[in-house]
Each structure stands twice: as C-alpha cells, then as structure tokens.
Amino acid sequence: MNRDRTRISRVSTGNHWRQLAVVWVLCLAPGWLAAQDQADLGNSSSTESSTLPRHPLERQALVDPQGALDALPALIRAAQASEKPRQVALLELARANACRVLADWNCQQDAGAAAAQWGARAEDPIVQARGHIADARASMALQDYTRGEQQMAQAEVLLKAHPQPELSADVDLGYSSMSYSLGKHALAAEYAARGLTHLPPDEGLPMRVRLMRNLARSLARTGQIDRARDTLAEAVATSERFVDPKLSAELYLETARLARMDNDIQTQRVNGHKVLALSSQLENTQLRGLGLEVLGLAELDAGNLSQALQHLRTSHAEFKQLGLARDELRVGRQLLTALVEDDPRHPEAAELMLHMIELDEGVIAADRARAAEDFEARLKYAEQQNELLRLESEAKLAEERARSLREQNRLSNALVALSTLSLLALTGFLLLQRRSSRRLTQALQAKLQSQSQAGELLNLSAGFVCLHDPDGKLLMVNPAVSEALGKPSDDLVGRSVLDFIRGAGKREWEQYLQEIRSEGQVEGTVSLELPEVGQRHWRFTSRMSPADLPSSYVIGHAVDVTEQIEQARALREQSLRDELTGSFNRRYLEIFERRHGSEGSWAVINIDLDHFKQINDTHGHEHGDQVLKRQAEFFKERLISGDAVVRVGGDEFVLLLSHADQQAQERTLDLLLQDRGSSPCAYSIGSALRRPGEELSATLARADAAMYEGRVQRRAGSGG
C-alpha cells in the first residue's frame, strides 16, 4: 500500500486530474446518493403539475421546514380529536416532507408510517400508498433495506388496484435509487427511464426532474458522459418551472459532480456555494456538509490544500455532529488522503485514522445488531411463554391451598359447635373425629405419594436440573444431565462443571460464578462439548439458596436450545442464498465487502447470459430455470475456496474472487473463456481488480462497464 501511494504521488499532472475525477465518483457520489434519495419521496416536493392530494403545509415545508414542523402538532391533535383520519394522514405527509428537507430520516420514517395507518383508516389507498413510500425512502436512508423493500411492495399492491401515474413513477424511482446504491447502474438507468414513461406531459414535474437526475448519474457511471450532461441540463431547465429548494440543491450537487469529471473547478465552486446558500435557507446541516465537501474537493483539485483541508474538516465535523456515520467515514477518508499526501506524518492523520476505525466498527456492530433482532425476539417470546406457564402453575397451587384452608376452617367451626352438645352430640363428635382422622391419614398418604411423584417427575424431566456449590462443584444432578454428559450421577457429583467446558467457555463460567455469588440469580446461555453429540447450547436459570441456611448451594435449571440457535443460523444463511440456484444473492455483497475491510484485495467478474430470454420464450421458464441452475454450478466449479458466485438478477451473475491479485484474476478469466463452449448458456463477461481503498460498488461498476464495452465491441465486430 505504501509503494502504491508513493507511485501515485509521482504521476503526471494530467493523470492526477483523472484520478481525482475517479475519486469523486467513487467517494463523493455515494454520499450524495444518501441525501438525494430522500428527495425521491412519494410526497413530491412541489404541488405544481401534481394531481396528488396534499395539505398546504406540505408546500410550506419546502421553504420553511421548521416552521411547518412547529405548526403541525396542534393541527394533528385537532384532526384526531375531530375524527378526520384523512386530514390526519395528509398532515403526517406534510410532516414527512418537512423532516425530509431537514434530513431527519427517523422523523420521516415515523411520519410516513403514521400517514399509511391513517390513510388505511380513511380508506384512501392513494394517501396510504404515499405514506408507505415515505416510510420506505427513509428506511433506505437508514440502511434498513429490508423494511424499505417491504414498504415499497405494499405501495405497489395498492397501486395495482388503484393506478396513479405519479406514484407508479415514484416506485420506479425508489427501485432506481436502490439499484444505484448496490452498484447496478445500468439497471438503475433502466428503472429511471421506465419511471419517465409513467408520467403524462407537463404532470408531476418534480418527479420528472428526480427521474432525470437518477438517469443522468447512472449514465455517468456507465461512461455515457454526453448523455448524462444532456439529461441533467434538461432536469435543471425543468426545475425552474416550480419551487423546491432541496431539489435544486441536489441538482447543484450533481452538476458539480459532472464538472469535477471535466476538471471544471469554477463550476464546482459556484455550485458548492449555491448548495451552502440553500442549506442555510432550509437549516439543513447535512446539506451544508455536502456543500462544504464539494468546495473542499474543488480546492483540492485547484491545489489550494489549506482551503481544501478547512472545508473538509468542517464537512467532517457537520456529519459527525449529525451522527451520519457513513457520510463521516467518506469525508474522513478524503481528509485523511489529503493530509497524508501533503505530509505522511501529519499530526492529525493518526488520530483521524483511529476515529475512522472506531466509527467503522460501530457501523458493523449496528448491522450485526439488526441481524440478531429476529433471534432475540424469538428467544424472548419462548422465555415469556415459560414464565407464563410457571405463573399459571403457582396460581393453581395457591387456589388449591386456599380451598384446603377453607375446608379446615369449616371443620374447626363444626368441632367447636359440637363441643357444646349433649352426650349424644359428644358421641357424634367422636364419630366425626374418627372420620376426620381417616381423612388426615389419607391426606398424609397423598402428601407422601405427591412427594414420590415429584421425585419421579424430576427423574423423568427432559430438562436439566442440578445443584452445585458456589465454587461450581456438582452436588446433585437429575438423570437428564447424566444422560447428556454420558456419565452416571455418582461419577458427576463432586466434580466441577469446568471439566465439561472447553475454550472460551471456561472464562464465561468463571464470570457466571462471580455473578451468582454477587447477584444471587443468573440467566443466560452456555456452550458445552458433550460426548458423542458434540457442541450443545443450554439456556439456563440459576438461583442461590436462602442466606439463612447452614450451607449455600445453587439450584440450576436448563433446557437445550441448540436446535433454535441452529435454526436461527440457518435462517441467516438462507437469507443470503438465491432460492433457485443456491448461489449467494445480492445481500451477500455487503458482507463480502465488510469481511475484506478497507485494505483487503478482491477481483469481480460481471457475467450476463446471452439471449437467455430466447431460451425462456422457446423452451419455457421451467427449462430456463434448469439452465440457470446448471449455469451456477458451471461457475462454482471454476472457482477456488473462498470465492463466491452471486446471482444479482434474472440472468446476471457476479463472481467474487477473495484476496485476488491480477494473476488470479487473469487465471479465472482465461478458464471462463476456454470453457465457454461447454457452458449451458453463452455469456458476456467483464472484470475489474480492486484499486487501493476502493469500495465494492465501484469495482462492480467498472466490471459492469467493461462487460458492456466488450459486448458492444463483439457485436460491432460481428456486424450487429
């Protein structure tokens, strides 16, 4: 890596500008995407040329978002009190629009969900669909793509039954933005172009501008720069027909991006200052951070390092204050690169690098926490069910005790009354006493039988029950524990539990003993290496004996939850697999990139099956599915351990080569070209090797462009 940086610092001035343009596309554009995509909400920013139902405050939110937010709560409460669900839904959409302008995605998500609920209560499917779309776009900005897809799907269902051109275009816009985020720029352009076909002339102008913006940036990423400029120019001209400061700022950002690719520093500066002016007007701190980022990179291109560092530092601080970790990481990388290129031992570099590592770990931890939520919820539900059964059992026992007490009181009262009777009554009392004695004998026998049954129940219980002393030495175990550990009870009593725990579990057991001695009660999960069956997971609950007893002991109860844990792991694995071919799906891309880190190496090979549609049309989809399965196996057989086949579309595959260099990349390409004749279906390929610090989406984009260029050249060579 150090040799690469030294070589880069010595390239010619012309190459330096081209490299900066690439850095702009790979580093700055994804940050813009996170902000710009939020302008793609179903509640379009302007009411001009739109037929969608809106509240007047939704228009005010475009130029005075905070003022609109201040006025909305009282109006929402009044509409709720008056039982006007449609009015509440429209007010919530206005709140979502104001939150969007302020870049408050949690607020926007909450308002969108509320709008969908109230729209459903009002039986207004159009308003309800707008709420789902608002919720979806905020979820995507928060990196919650699962929720975003679910909300977008609900909107599509409503629009199939109740068509609305502008909202149909909005759905296509959402899928275009998501495709762009995942590096499928050709697909993003296709969705944007399809969305434009939904809009009638001179209707839905804000939506038309957003679709053209998406189309322009996707064309730029596939190398069609001239078409991108023309499309963006048309979007800017159309935006002048209505008022939407936030959308105007996004167009300025996109204009600056294209200007940087042309090394047009003045245009970058002009548009950067325009973005800053609009951020002040809208009080949008994220927009201010993006504007400062534009100016910082422009000054970096101009060679004004001190001004560039000043702008980038301020931009980094703005994103840090907002808690936008991914934006902060992106600008931090740009700032760190500038500092190191100026002075490899710059005093800020080490501290900034440590902060970025900590921030990246936080992002990874948050992603893992979301993946674990489903398993934790299932486990919590099982615990609640067990607690409910325990409470029901205790309630029945208490009721039986109360009934017995009432019976005893009744008998005592009868005895007191009988003691005052005559000799005849005394004789009767003796008879009753004899009968009571018989009942007492029966009760004692029942108690003894109950104790015997309790012991038998303990022996027959499938749960694991044991007693151990405060140091972990076993005092008593039931047969279920003996069977699980593969030893008779006599061989287990007196031994330490540590004898049956391996590896890191020993440290966890010591922590458990400390906690049970200090807290008196512990719940958790322990992993054990059991004879013949291997590793098992036990969910346990332990309590310390009362303090007034002569000797202390711990009673523990456990159940085997290995199956549940393995099912949860299987579900996580299944969510990463394509159902038809068994290959990975596109969710695996993010995991692959995270595993390799910022300094890792990889190569990607994009593959499109040629004329696959003809196979489906000629032989049917069932035959086409079989071809896809064989094709996936064909690719897997030509990869080595650690590499992966990912199905990213209907007939599109990506081969991910782990820790690959140019030699490994070329070896795999040669193999694919040599064996093309034995493939179930013809295919086109394009590949790219990761550049230093490059994100996976950028490598995929270059491979996609290479595949597209190769296909064009091959068709030109064959005469069409």
The mean pLDDT value for 559-578 works out to 71
The tens digit of pLDDT for each residue in 101-140 reads 888 889 999 999 999 999 999 999 999 999 999 999 888 8
Lowest mean pLDDT among 50-59, 452-461, 570-579: 452-461
Collapse the DSSP code of 387 into the 3-class scheme (helix H, G, I; strand E, B; otherwise coil) and give the result.
Answer: helix
Percent pLDDT > 70 in the chain is 80
Considering the four listed CATH numbers 3.30.2130.10, 1.10.287.3510, 3.30.70.270, 3.40.50.720, the one that applies to the domain covering 578-717 is 3.30.70.270
* CA separation for the pair 694, 410 (Å, rounded): 86
Of 485 and 544, the one with more pLDDT: 544
Check whether 670 has a pLDDT greater than 70.
yes
Angle 156-162-165 from CA coordinates, rounded to 5°: 75
What are the pLDDT digits (tens) for 318-329?
A: 888 888 777 888
pLDDT at 453: 59
pLDDT at 27 over 50: no
Express each pLDDT in 390-423 by its tens digit.
Answer: 777 677 777 887 887 788 778 777 776 776 676 7
Statement: residue 479 has pLDDT above 60: yes
Write down the residue that tokens 């071809």 correspond to. Answer: 627
What are 474's strand-pairing partners? 468
CA distance 76 to 121: 15
As a whole number, mean pLDDT of residues 448-453 equals 59
Using the predicted structure, report yes or no on whether residue 342 has a pLDDT greater than 90.
no
The yes-or-no verdict on residue 17 having pLDDT over 60 is no
Q: Which pLDDT band, with edges at 50, 70 and 90, does 446 fall under?
A: low
Contact (CB, 8 A) for 195 and 208: no
Quick check: 525 and 571 in contact, CB under 8 A?
A: no
Q: Which of 23-37, 218-232, 480-494 has the lowest mean pLDDT?
A: 23-37
Residue 12: CB atoms within 10 A of its CB come to 8
User: Topology of 464-568 in CATH?
Assistant: Beta-Lactamase (3.30.450)
* The three-state (H, E, C) secondary structure of 133-200, written as one string: HHHHHHHHHCCCHHHHHHHHHHHHHHHHHCCCHHHHHHHHHHHHHHHHHCCCHHHHHHHHHHHHHHCC
Distance of alpha carbon 712 from alpha carbon 653, whole angstroms: 19
Convert the pLDDT of each residue in 59-98 to its tens digit: 888 878 899 899 999 999 999 999 999 999 999 999 998 8
Which pLDDT belongs to residue 69?
92
Among 311-315, 473-477, 495-499, the range scoring the smallest mean pLDDT is 495-499
**Residues 568/378, Cβ–Cβ less than 8 Å:** yes
pLDDT-wise least confident of 36-45, 497-506, 527-536: 36-45
Of residues 498, 686, 509, 693, the one with CA closest to residue 607: 686
Specify which of 142-151, 534-543, 567-576 reaches the highest per-range mean pLDDT.
Answer: 142-151
Residue 666: pLDDT over 60: yes
Pairing verdict, β 602-609 and 534-544: unpaired
DSSP code of residue 545: P
For the domain made up of 173-243, the CATH class stated in words is: mainly alpha
Identical topology for domains 53-163 and 464-568: no
For the chain, give every domain's residue range. Answer: 1-36+253-344, 53-163, 173-243, 372-458, 464-568, 578-717
End-to-end Cα distance, the chain:
44
Q: What is the pLDDT of residue 664?
A: 93
In this prediction, residues 469-496 reach a mean pLDDT of 80
Write the pLDDT tens digit of every residue in 179-202. Answer: 887 788 999 999 999 989 888 887
Domain 1-36+253-344 is found in CATH 1.25.40: yes
Rounded-to-integer distance, Cα 486 and Cα 497, Å: 14
Inter-residue contact 477 to 493 (CB < 8 Å): yes
Question: Rounded to the nearest 5 degrees, what angle is found at the Cα of 214, between the Cα atoms of 213 and 216?
Answer: 65
> For 147-176, what is each residue's pLDDT tens digit?
888 898 999 999 999 998 888 888 999 888
Query: What local confidence, expressed as pLDDT, does residue 39 receive?
Result: 38
Task: Look at residue 23 and tell me whether its pLDDT is greater than 70.
Answer: no
At residue 9, the pLDDT reads 33
Which residues 6+ apart lie within 8 Å of 98 measured at CB?
A: 57, 61, 65, 66, 68, 69, 72
Burial label, 324 (beta-carbon count in 10 A; 0-12, 13-18, 19+): buried
- Of 2-11, 279-288, 424-433, 612-621, the one with minimum mean pLDDT is 2-11
Query: What's the CA gap between 88 and 229, in Å, rounded?
Result: 42
The pLDDT tens digits for 239-269 are 888 888 888 888 988 888 888 888 898 998 9
What CA dihedral angle connects 607, 610, 616 and 619, to 10 degrees?
Answer: -120
Q: When comparing pLDDT for 271 and 427, which is higher?
A: 271
The H or E element containing residue 465 is strand 464-468
What mean pLDDT, rounded, does the chain reach? 80
Task: Give the residue-averaged pLDDT of 2-27.
Answer: 33
Q: Does domain 53-163 have CATH number 1.25.40.10?
A: yes
Q: What is the pLDDT of residue 675?
A: 92
* Whole-prediction pTM: 0.44
pLDDT band of 560, cuts 50, 70, 90: confident
What's residue 405's pLDDT?
A: 79
Q: In the structure, what pLDDT confidence band is assigned to residue 13 with cuts at 50, 70 and 90?
A: very low
Question: What does the pLDDT average to over 638-654?
Answer: 93
